[in-house]
Structures are given as C-alpha cells and as structure tokens.
Structure 1
C-alpha cells in the first residue's frame, strides 16, 4: 500500500508508521502471551490495538510476517542487552569469570523477569511456522554474535571454527537450561543458576582455547585489551 509522507502533529510519516507497527507488535505479544498463537487474528489484533486494518498492512503482509517480526524484535532486544553488558564489563576490566557472570546475569534476568516473552521466543514460537523459522534464524544470529565477541575478546585474529561450535553449544544449552529452570525442574536460586551457567561458559571457553592450541594455533588471550571499535 502507499505510505503517507506528510508530517502530522510534529511527527513525520515514517515515525507514525513505526509507532503503529510497534503498537501492533506490542498488542500481538499481549494476545499471544495470554491466549496463545491460535487466538491471534488480524481482526482481533487491530481491534485491541485500536487501529484500522489498513494500518496492519502498511507494515506487514500477513500474520506470519508479523510473527517473524515479533520474534526478531524480542531477539534483538536480548542481543542488545548481552552486547552492552559484554562491552561494558570488558571496558571495566572484568576478568573472564566475572564478565561471564555479569553478561549472563543481564541476559538471564531479561529472560526470567518476564517469562512470557522467553516462552514466546523460544518455546511457543513452534506453534507458528514462520515464527519457528525466525526462531532458528535468531538463535543462529545469537551464536554468531557470541562467536564474534569471543574471537575479539581472546584476540584470536581469525574466525576459528571452534568458536562457532562452542558458541552454538553455549547459546542452545543456555536457552534449554533457562526453560528448564522456568519450569521449576531445577531447584536452585536465580543467583546460583547464573553462577552455574557462567562456570560452564568459562569452562567451554577454556577448553576451546586448549583445543585450538593443540591444533597448532596460538590465540592471544590478553582479555584486558579494549575492543577495536572502543579504543
């Protein structure tokens, strides 16, 4: 459809479209979190968001497109939290174990403080085919982000395969562990849970470095060096 281009009440046309898009995503989240994917329809969504259906189609082609966008937005929020925590902790000079706890405390906190968004992102997304596909995409993206950071953190200087393998293992395993903890299948406090996961992350990282060296590659592990874009 043709998008409006004129400003209105001080807002540009682009910002109004973005605001309506976010309004629809927020309302969709509320419906899915409380009633499930099967209760979501364009009519219900627009009615509860107080918007005409034409505003739905200015941002999304279908409910499937919107479902993918919702998964992507939630994932981006979590990735941003992790990246900010990692860079902030690194610049403060945290050692590896402290940095792992710091990052995981922020990320796991986001996941457990509002379990509905975690279940939507990593569990109930399977109820919608497009959301399920997007969930796979964002999990791979999370692994790539972690891999890139670990390579930079350890000053490896090249994209080592073990970094990608280890990152996929850590991301997938942590998601499963959080879902298990949310289901009350792990009888530990949140603080103990974060500490446990952080210990596993450090152990996997140390093992990856040892394995890399055993293959004749010697990464520099001066973790106190600032990231290149922050020097």
Structure 2
C-alpha cells in the first residue's frame, strides 16, 4: 500500500489502534465498561466507527487489550526499576514498591480500573489470575537474585509469591478506593516491611515441622 500523506499504512493502523486503546482506557477508567459502546469509544478516539474492527473483534477484545497494555507498562516498570536498584533487598523493594504505587496513583483511570472494574468483570477476573501469575514469577526471580540462598522450597516459594502478590493487589485496590486510611509513604513503608518479612518464613516452617 502506498503511503498516505507520507505516512505508511502500517503506521496509520498502529496510530489508530493506539488512539482506540487510549479511548478505551478513558471509558473504562471514567464511566466504566458496562456503559461502553463501539460508537462511544470511536468518538473519544476521534475515529470513524469502521476503523474499530480494523484492530479489535469486539468491545471485550478492546477491554482486554487496554488491561494488557496497562499490565505490560506496570511489569515493565517493575523490571526496569529493579534492574537499576541496588542488589540489596530493602532498597530494591523500596524502589519497586514506590514506583508501582506512584504508577497506579498517577492516573485516576488506572486507579478506577484496579479498584472497581476488575471486581465487576468476570472477563477481567480471569485476566487478573494471569497477571498475578506473571507478577508472582517476577517475585520469585527477584528472591533468587537477591538472596544468597532462598530459604524456602520451590513449592513454598511459589505459595509465598502468590500470597504476597494477591494480597498486595487487594491492599492497593482498597487504598485506591479510599477504604484504607493511610498516606502514600506509610503504605510504601508497610508493603516494604511486609515483603522483607516473607524472607523469615523458613524458620517458622522448620519449627512447625519439628
């Protein structure tokens, strides 16, 4: 296909898809997905309706794409911050937790998606499980990198990762809703302390098994 006004067709499609993702986040993070329509999303994106199906089969496909895009940004941020932070448990945990709390709080649309839209959507509940599995994998990788010797069995390490990530998901959701009355700095300090405490599970488990 020939370029249109100097822009190749592939770039135009990518630009339209990006506009739809941004419009989808706007709809999801303001009025909620239950009221979304193809026409409404396209209007926010400044596009003719016919361009919607160029990138997405239906509204559910756009919904998942919006969430996947935000999840990719969050996991990318976590890995980038972790890579730059010192190879010590406390400062790295503090850097990562601070970054992810600020990422979620920086955009009210993200806050609404996490705090309200995930619990309301069966489709997003399945995506939540997949995202938690990905984040648990990052937790396990960081534990192996930062601890000279991981004091837990593979099974216990995985159970710890899933427990921590799932719990923090619920805590951050509650904080974003205003259900947890504490400031940003105290929240970060609490989460860091909680993460550090998970490295002390092995002695407790050893004592239980005696």
Name the TM tier (shorter chain): 0.7 to 0.9
**Greater helix share, structure number:** 2
**Cα root mean square deviation, aligned:** 2.6
Q: Name the SS of the counterpart of 1:123 in structure 2.
A: helix
- Partner of residue 178, structure 1: 172
Aligned: 1:140 with 2:136: no
Q: Name the SS of the counterpart of 2:56 in structure 1.
A: coil
- Partner of residue 144, structure 2: 151
> Whole-Å Cα distance in 2 between the matches of residues 30 and 133 of structure 1?
22
CA-to-aligned-CA distance 1:158-207 (integer Å, 9 cap, x gap): x9222221111111111111122223333332111101110000111332
Whether contact under 8 Å (1:24, 1:49) holds in the other structure is yes
CA-to-aligned-CA distance 1:104-161 (integer Å, 9 cap, x gap): 000111112224313314531343333332222212211122222322333559x922
Aligned: 1:205 with 2:199: yes
Q: 1:201 and 1:23, CA in 2 relative to 1: closer, same or farther beyond 3 A?
A: same
Structure 1 segment 53-202 matched on structure 2, within 5 A: 53-90=49-86, 93=87, 95-121=88-114, 123-154=116-147, 160-202=154-196
Q: Which runs of 5+ in 2 are unaligned?
A: none
Q: 1:9 and 1:160, CA in 2 relative to 1: closer, same or farther beyond 3 A?
A: farther
CA-to-aligned-CA distance 1:45-89 (integer Å, 9 cap, x gap): 112212122211111111111111111111111111111111110
Q: Which of these residues, 11, 23, 27, is aligned with residue 15 of structure 1?
A: 11
Whether contact under 8 Å (1:31, 1:40) holds in the other structure is yes
Whether contact under 8 Å (1:64, 1:131) holds in the other structure is no
How many residue pairs align between the two structures?
Answer: 207
Whether contact under 8 Å (1:65, 1:130) holds in the other structure is no
Deviation at residue 44 of structure 1 after TM alignment: 1.2
Q: 1:154 and 1:6, CA in 2 relative to 1: closer, same or farther beyond 3 A?
A: farther
Whether contact under 8 Å (1:74, 1:121) holds in the other structure is no
Q: Which of these residues, 47, 53, 58, is aligned with residue 51 of structure 1?
A: 47
> Whole-Å Cα distance in 1 between the matches of residues 149 and 7 of structure 2?
47
Q: Which runs of 5+ in 1 are unaligned?
A: 215-231
